């Protein structure tokens, strides 16, 4: 039997894994579910990704690229004359006004690193890159690390609680932490 030439198969498998996690969560991710979503034979998923961890790493890397590009665009637009707390509150507000399902997917993949040690370095790379980008923009890596952590926590809290975003309380809280 001749092998079908399919140069995009690996990418379709990654895209399918992201779609499966987005629809069913990490618990719904399996080689079988991804193969069905990608419309490829089961053996193709295991050929390209020997383990689910390998597939998760590829999916998280892809999701991180988009997330980091958005973060870099925001960091580039920071007004140096504005208080940093104001700029961070703007970022959080814009993120929460965006595609909630995309943010849920990002956090689902990111938090998978808590239980899957192989995925942990990929999540850490993303955080480190955010700190690097913001640190270059504001000139202080320690503050950048605190801002990234605060932003992460605030976004996650809003996703979990569904409470309305209150920019004034976020600005006040950030201003208190950032000095």
Position 36 pLDDT exceeds 60 = yes
d(CA 34, CA 29): 7
Position 53 pLDDT exceeds 80 = yes
Burial label for 147, CB within 10 Å (0-12, 13-18, 19+), is buried
> Can you give the residue ranges of every domain in the chain?
7-50, 59-178
Query: For residue 39, is it left (φ>0), alpha (ψ between -120 and 50) or beta?
Result: left
**59-178: which CATH topology?**
Tetracycline Repressor; domain 2 (1.10.357)
3 state SS of 2: coil
CA-based nearest residue to 113, from 67, 66, 56: 56
Pair of tokens at residue 99? 């595609």
d(CA 171, CA 167): 6
| Cα angle value 58/59/63 (rounded, 5°) | 120
Residue 10: pLDDT band (50, 70, 90) is very high
Portion of the chain with pLDDT greater than 90, in percent: 78
- Per-residue pLDDT tens over the stretch 131-164: 999 999 999 999 999 999 999 999 999 999 988 8
- Per-residue pLDDT tens over the stretch 17-31: 999 999 999 999 999
**7-50: which CATH topology?**
Arc Repressor Mutant, subunit A (1.10.10)
């Amino acid at each position: 039997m001749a092998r079908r030439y399919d140069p995009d198969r690996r990418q379709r498998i990654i895209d399918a894994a992201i779609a499966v996690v987005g629809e069913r969560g990490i618990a719904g991710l399996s080689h079988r579910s991804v193969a069905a979503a990608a419309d490829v034979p089961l053996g193709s998923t295991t050929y390209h990704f020997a383990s689910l961890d390998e597939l998760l790493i590829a999916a998280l890397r892809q999701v991180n690229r988009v997330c980091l590009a958005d973060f870099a665009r925001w960091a580039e637009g920071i007004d140096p004359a504005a208080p940093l707390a104001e700029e961070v509150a703007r970022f959080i507000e814009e993120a929460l006004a965006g595609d909630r399902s995309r943010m849920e997917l990002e956090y689902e993949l990111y938090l998978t690193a808590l239980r899957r040690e192989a995925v942990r370095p990929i999540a850490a790379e993303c955080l480190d890159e955010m700190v690097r980008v913001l640190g270059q923009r504001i000139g202080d890596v320690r503050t950048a690390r605190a801002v990234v952590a605060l932003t992460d926590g605030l976004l996650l809290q809003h996703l979990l609680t569904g409470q309305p975003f209150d920019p004034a309380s976020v600005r006040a809280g950030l201003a208190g932490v950032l000095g």
